[in-house]
Amino acid sequence: MDRKALFDAVRPYAPGAKLKPEWVPMIDALADAMGLPRAAGGPGEPDPELIAALKKDEGLRLKAYPDPLSPRARTGKGSGAPWTIGYGRARGIQEGQIITEATAEAWLIEDAREHNLVIHAALPWLKRLDPVRRRVVENMHFNMGWDNPKTPAVEGLAQFKNTLGHIEAGRYAEAAAAMRASLWAKQVKGRAVRLAREMETGRIVQ
């Protein structure tokens, strides 16, 4: 059995034969525990161009810092959770933690792989996109995630139904316009400008 076969074996038992995005990392972890190889260039494998873009967008911090929306970041007091380090890793990070640049890069690749597995399971049509536009969606998902199943409100990239619909249908100018008009674009500024331009043109913007 290979990794794809494991996912294919589990999928029929999911409601509507569709895996929930939050299940994908757990199945992938099971595949790791079973020693199943990762397919080179598979949907979960981030390519070097995506990693380079995420490095630029996330920025490198080798000492843990408080979440920008936390009380500590806003007022200098209270909780700073979730603490973040490296290229945006916020899972299991403690105040005062320090890492090396090599660890930060290894974590970035690991995190990008997990995010890609989730988004490709949620949006199987991504594999039909050209590499530039596919990386735009992967980058957005790395930045905001898909949705939080623990809250009733739709969050993350799952909110972008119209944008994703335009992308799937090949209406890239409309998708780019929707990206630019979003609250997310106001929050991430230059990142959104670049990604919207790449979605519109299908060419990498330096």
pLDDT, averaged in runs of 10, over the chain (206 residues): 68 69 68 65 78 96 92 92 94 94 95 92 93 97 87 88 98 98 96 98 94
pLDDT of amino acid 191: 97
User: pLDDT digits over 184-198, tens only?
Assistant: 999 999 999 999 999
pLDDT of amino acid 1: 63
Segment 51-59 long-range contacts (CB within 8 Å, at least 24 positions apart): 51/108, 51/109, 51/112, 53/135, 53/139, 54/87, 54/88, 54/108, 54/112, 54/139, 54/142, 55/87, 55/108, 57/139, 57/143, 57/188, 57/191, 58/87, 58/88, 58/108, 59/87, 59/88
pLDDT of amino acid 21: 58
pLDDT of amino acid 153: 80
**Interhelix angle for 131-144 vs 161-169, to 10°?**
170
Instruction: Please state the pTM of the whole predicted model.
Output: 0.79
pLDDT of amino acid 148: 76
pLDDT of amino acid 160: 97
